[in-house]
Amino acid sequence: AQSVTQPDIHITVSEGASLELRCNYSYGATPYLFWYVQSPGQGLQLLLKYFSGDTLVQGIKGFEAEFKRSQSSFNLRKPSVHWSDAAEYFCAVGTMEYGNKLVFGAGTILRVKS
């Protein structure tokens, strides 16, 4: 079965500092990979996605993520965090074999200190 691990429940970074949120998945085939952001009480906003091709993907709001097959990872990065980035971030994995339904990680809550 598919599984997604986000090992960091909370992360606090200073405004302007760089950010990396970790995501590891467990699945045999090449998955589709997603990062979503959720503000309190709100729905999900897609930051970026990986289906195939270039393993470094660019997303909205200055985020990027790199797919590393050998490490089964899809870590999210941002070079300079803004206070408005404070939110909860979810990594999700889907595969055609499982009908493209998504399995979500537990989420990482990002706090930004000024």
Q: Comparing C-alpha atoms, which of 107, 99, 113, 112 is closest to residue 2?
A: 99
Contact (Cβ atoms closer than 8 angstroms) between residue 91 and residue 104: yes
Shorter beta-carbon distance to other proteins: residue 28 or 41: 41
Print the binding letters for residues 91-110 with other proteins: x by CB under 8 A, - otherwise: ---x-x--xxxxxxxxx---
> Is residue 42 part of the contact set for other proteins (CB under 8 A)?
yes
* 53 lies in the binding site for other proteins (CB under 8 A): no
Closest to other proteins by CB, 59 or 94: 94
